[in-house]
Structure 1
């Protein structure tokens, strides 16, 4: 069976004539709004940074000692202080110490690590994915889930109704018959709904939690498109189906996994799923490493997107570098303004974006912003030889984010997303190495050459930009 798009995108030949139908659906579902981020530039009164570990919140004295140690090891970490204060004010989960974070690049490495964790599962498996495809990769996952369920491991699965529309119901019926609890997120068919119909609200998360002790998250769906990994080859606007997909996940072990488990349980409950066996407030596991991690879950059910505010805060507070890799770049005015302001105050702002995409509309809309960004000093690179699907950010070599969130309106307003924010230079150095490798496999966009592109290309980009909030 052919693979559905890896993200909720307009297809390569965008159905412009159906725009009225799209707008009608948005009107029926209700439109979320982006939060006003102007307050991010305000000065905050100095506050203590708060942390927790496997046993609960840390004392102010121990939290202060952690910050002092971070500053000794990493240099001036004003971003840590300001970011922590901001996130404590707007809500969200705690900064959790004692975690081990492993960077996973592309499908083969990620699937290999996931399969190993699944085989070792002894109690519980929770899996949530925008796409669960019934191809070779999906069958491998299904076989492992069925095998573990038969050995007494309770398996719970959430899949998005739109993202997995190409997967036949027999695939999920087989899982259900074996005792696996399967939940369809926000069914397209209103007759299957257990809450108000909101057709534009999608579950874009990619999350796997095993035994409450290990979590995987990032941009990788359960799909055959990730089977070969990324490759270096020719470039061009048209998508070559033989190209590998370039993507990134993280494997996290330690007490912060309980925060990701909570996000899964919250989604299950909001979607009206049957009570989960053994569910309750997840208990943080034992320390496994030295990383400080925050679990960031965003949903339009909340009054604002926590990841959106977190990202713009990080960019606003950046002092040296902002390195971004993203598959779908259709920025709203506030995000665009934060990038422009950072570059103009001397921050080294770099964007690695696709040279080809499974969404021509998003690809063209993103390119319509290039000239303004280049004029402000932002460096732009387009990844060649693979289909870029990465969603990562590195700020000042100490603040890193990996997750499912794109830099577009849809992620900020309409999707459930999940990201991990990791503090510290050790993990950021790994992220930077991967970033530089991608940059070496990319073509730099030069301002003068870009200004000379054909009028036809400019027109397509301008038209696509008009549809930015829908992409």
Structure 2
């Protein structure tokens, strides 16, 4: 290859990079600045919804008092919940059942069992749906239910499924499944405007409006090795197994998740959904108090981000976070450091390897500042960590699709649920400690002695953190 050909290739690459940069720049947005005193304002009464709708003020208070008495001393219930209500708009609901799912094969098995039991409809929303062994397993199950008269509606992100052959989805459509491509990469097929930077990162499965799954797991064979046994199983080919956390939920909270799915379908102009019983009568399934928080890049700001910042400001004893992609903005960084200054035990479990090189090093650029402030950092190395969870003061827990980075807070459509109470909080603490036991703590002295090439990668990552 001659010099002219090389230069021509370089110019083309530069032009493509510039075009992408301009597209991204057009869609720039910013994170909200939460007034520090907002989380300290007198709390208004917090309403709670039951299976028949809003509960009386006395009944709502009794439920929250029970939650307060069952956990560690904390200001979360008295200072945060009313603000969360104002920020999010969705109600606290009681009467829910929650099952914690922490291993890929087990999670898939629970999802397939729910699909096979469907009698009316299946609504599924995912970022990645690969044409591999796991993807084919789900395709077969969905097609089988569609042929039995169960209406299947699928939202798949265009970028997340870019590597999946069109024939995979054509086969689903031919069986009668309604397939909606979220923000198509090809502008000629976009129905709701074109913005390649706004992605649907939610992972959501709703069956018959009665049971739902959500969390961080995509539909892909990267989870096939398992990651929560005594010794994580290496996948065929030698790759690390992926480690994720999901929830299986039943009860009134499912209706709130259903609303988010139908709202996305409408905004993306997916056409009229087939008539089905999307909102069956709600029944009490358990004793958990929960709230759904959905965020969209179309919102003025990320509802999940605002909720998290408010919660961190109310924390008194523990902030335990596990996250796959950690690139904190200044406000999140300050909230973590302030919590340590108040005497809180702030720990983060993060990956030691990743599928996103720039995000990985952009996050590591903040290690020095966090370690100097007293935040404890741990990295898990025997699995590729893809978890997005938090447990705060042992009584406020969240599981969902949201990473602690700019992309999740600004550019992605995400969904999390908050579960209140010490019972579920203790399960989350146990899961966190299990990850902690398989992780290595990063010390400040060790970090100060990292090699120069690692520092250079961190600087490069920070240049792109807003768009990662």
Hey, what's the Cα distance between the residues in 2 that align with 1:365 and 1:338?
19
Hey, what's the Cα distance between the residues in 1 that align with 2:410 and 2:253?
25
Q: Is the 8 Å Cα contact of residues 371 and 447 (structure 1) preserved in structure 2?
A: yes
Hey, what's the Cα distance between the residues in 1 that align with 2:183 and 2:238?
30
Q: 1:302 to 1:450 in 2, by over 3 A?
A: same
Q: Is the 8 Å Cα contact of residues 40 and 313 (structure 1) preserved in structure 2?
A: no
Q: Is the 8 Å Cα contact of residues 331 and 408 (structure 1) preserved in structure 2?
A: yes
Q: 1:234 to 1:111 in 2, by over 3 A?
A: closer
Q: What is the DSSP-based 3-state SS (H/G/I as helix, E as strand, rest coil) of the residue aligned with 1:67?
A: helix
Tell me the equivalent position of 2:176: 179
Select between 422-431 and 86-95 the one with higher mean Cα deviation: 86-95
Hey, what's the Cα distance between the residues in 2 that align with 1:170 and 1:135?
13
Q: What is the DSSP-based 3-state SS (H/G/I as helix, E as strand, rest coil) of the residue aligned with 1:469?
A: coil
Tell me the equivalent position of 1:73: 70
Q: 1:316 to 1:275 in 2, by over 3 A?
A: same
Offset at residue 232 of structure 1 (A):
8.3
Q: 1:112 to 1:233 in 2, by over 3 A?
A: closer
Q: 1:281 to 1:127 in 2, by over 3 A?
A: closer
Q: 1:250 to 1:470 in 2, by over 3 A?
A: same
Q: 1:202 to 1:40 in 2, by over 3 A?
A: farther
Mark the runs of 5 or more structure 2 residues left unpaired by the alignment: 1-12
Hey, what's the Cα distance between the residues in 2 that align with 1:63 and 1:233?
42
Matched, 1:22 2:14: no
Hey, what's the Cα distance between the residues in 1 that align with 2:436 and 2:23?
39
Matched, 1:432 2:457: no
Hey, what's the Cα distance between the residues in 1 that align with 2:172 and 2:199?
22
Q: 1:454 to 1:75 in 2, by over 3 A?
A: closer
Q: What is the DSSP-based 3-state SS (H/G/I as helix, E as strand, rest coil) of the residue aligned with 1:98?
A: strand
Q: Is the 8 Å Cα contact of residues 92 and 306 (structure 1) preserved in structure 2?
A: no
Matched, 1:389 2:399: no
Tell me the equivalent position of 1:267: 264
Matched, 1:455 2:423: no
Give the alignment of 1:371-410 within 5 angstroms.
371-410=368-407
Give TM-score, length-normalised by structure 1: 0.92
Offset at residue 19 of structure 1 (A):
4.6
Q: What is the DSSP-based 3-state SS (H/G/I as helix, E as strand, rest coil) of the residue aligned with 2:431?
A: helix
Offset at residue 279 of structure 1 (A):
5.7
Offset at residue 103 of structure 1 (A):
0.3
Hey, what's the Cα distance between the residues in 1 that align with 2:433 and 2:18?
43
Q: 1:93 to 1:281 in 2, by over 3 A?
A: farther
Q: 1:391 to 1:461 in 2, by over 3 A?
A: same
Tell me the equivalent position of 1:107: 104
Q: What is the DSSP-based 3-state SS (H/G/I as helix, E as strand, rest coil) of the residue aligned with 1:84?
A: helix
Tell me the equivalent position of 2:132: 135
Cα RMSD, aligned residues only:
1.9
Q: 1:339 to 1:66 in 2, by over 3 A?
A: same
Q: Is the 8 Å Cα contact of residues 231 and 386 (structure 1) preserved in structure 2?
A: no
Offset at residue 231 of structure 1 (A):
6.7
Mark the runs of 5 or more structure 1 residues left unpaired by the alignment: 1-14
Hey, what's the Cα distance between the residues in 2 that align with 1:218 and 1:17?
38
Q: 1:16 to 1:385 in 2, by over 3 A?
A: farther
Offset at residue 92 of structure 1 (A):
2.5
Hey, what's the Cα distance between the residues in 2 that align with 1:80 and 1:230?
34
Hey, what's the Cα distance between the residues in 2 that align with 1:333 and 1:283?
44
Q: What is the DSSP-based 3-state SS (H/G/I as helix, E as strand, rest coil) of the residue aligned with 1:74?
A: coil
